[in-house]
A = this chain, B = another copy of it.
């Protein structure tokens, strides 16, 4: 079974940057399996990269090496690290790219990548993805002992995420990511509701709109209905059936979302 290296970058589609990274890796290990994870991370958006890694990387075979380059601090003092979380391996800048993964699991090992022996001979100040991370990932895929990369590091740089607030009658969170369908992914997780013993909340409010109840899936309601549901990774999502909730609501990242846990008042008859 060949080693696998996945690539996650904010390089976009019209540039030579992704291709240069691939070329460097294949020049060192022509037998490695390269898998494009995403090159559509928003420019320099570490949180976007962290969301994609957290929802994709754990599905890969044990030992897969995930090379992630969303690196606004390239050439500055930020560290480049090798990290093991669960049975997956990561090579990336230490800037919070792994911060959604480390919510769920403590890294087994963190190495500061400092040993220049495994880098390209000439390292530019602006493209460490090509000059440091690609050759390091390629050599790891050939069996290099990670301890050869540099010294142990105790912890990763933290990256704060907006956290949902859980009150007795409501949970207030926010949109942390918008997918290509226009679904609004929030930081309100399914288990926050079950902790209340009330997995079927009465209403969800977002940007002046009120949604009643939680749908099971997208197709359960008529087209153009605004719905809320728990997506495949456990996040509460707001979606528009057969449309884009983001466009419909003119919603952006950070928009507030409230889940009302109070039962509907039983209106007494007059």
Contact B26 A41 (CB under 8 A): no
| Cα separation A57 to B18 with both chains bound (whole Å) | 11
CB-CB < 8 A to A250: which residues of B?
none
Interface status of A157 (Cβ within 8 A of chain B): no
Per-residue interface assignment for chain A, residues 1 to 16, with 1 indicating a CB less than 8 Å from any chain B CB and 0 otherwise: 1101010101111111
From known contacts A26-B60, A220-B76, infer whether A127 and B38 are also in contact, taking CB-CB under 8 Å: no
Contact call B52/A38, Cβ cutoff below 8 A: no
Q: Which of B35, B41, B181 contacts A22 (CB 8 A)?
A: B35
Chain A contact surface mostly: loop
* Cα distance, A55 to B22, chains bound together (Å): 12
Contacts of A76 in B (CB 8 A): 217, 219-220
Interface positions, chain A 112-135, Cβ under 8 Å from B, are 124-127, 130-131
Known pairs A30-B1, A75-B218; A131 contacts B38 (CB<8 A): no
Contacts of A232 in B (CB 8 A): 20, 124, 126-127, 130-131
Q: Would you call A231 and B126 a contact (CB within 8 A)?
A: yes
A-B contact list, 14 entries, CB within 8 Å: A6-B19, A14-B42, A14-B48, A15-B40, A19-B37, A20-B59, A23-B61, A23-B64, A26-B33, A30-B33, A72-B219, A124-B232, A125-B217, A126-B232
